[in-house]
Amino acid sequence: MTCTEFNADTLPVKEAIPQDLLLQIKEMQKCGKCAQCLYTYILLAPTMSDKELIGLFGYDLLEDVELKAELDELAGFKLNPYPNRLRIARVNKCLQSISLQQERSGKALIKHYINECIKQYEGDMIEEYFNMAP
Ligand SMILES: [Zn+2]
């Protein structure tokens, strides 16, 4: 199995990953550069250490700035006519919990995530002001 064939929607959110799923991830071929790899990595991160994750993927995907566009898509920052709302909710739950882990909050993609969340929040505020205007 390859990373693009793996269905990461079956992984639990913020709970330990069942052994059989972990074995599947261990044995599958991972490119480490696609949205599916990043999605899997983000779902594993809340319950696994950096060392375990790097052992599985070969490097720290959360430090890879080349995956910014993939992160934006997974987190729902990018405009998409057919957003996968369930996936976006799962990803944001995990990213929020990773952001709160102090030793991980400085990682490149986590910093990017936090900045984008602030931007989105400010965007909403501005929209609210527009709505209030007569
Ligand atoms: Zn991949």
- Cα of 10 from ligand 1 centre, angstroms: 17
- Cα of 27 from ligand 1 centre, angstroms: 13
> What pLDDT, in 10s, does the model give residues 46-63?
999 999 999 999 999 999
Burial class of residue 37, CB neighbours in 10 A (0-12, 13-18, 19+):
buried
Query: In terms of Cα–Cα distance, which of 50, 56, 45, 49 is closest to 22?
Result: 56
- Cα of 117 from ligand 1 centre, angstroms: 25
- Cα of 30 from ligand 1 centre, angstroms: 5
- Asked whether the beta carbons of 37 and 2 are under 8 A apart, the reply is no
- Cα of 35 from ligand 1 centre, angstroms: 7
- Asked whether the beta carbons of 91 and 117 are under 8 A apart, the reply is no
CB neighbours of residue 13 within 10 Å: 15
pTM of the complete model: 0.91
pLDDT at 133 over 90: no
- How far, in Å, CA of 43 to CA of 48, rounded? 9
- Cα of 86 from ligand 1 centre, angstroms: 20
Confidence of residue 79 (pLDDT cuts 50, 70, 90): confident
Q: What pLDDT score does 134 carry?
A: 64
Tokens of 38: 């990043």
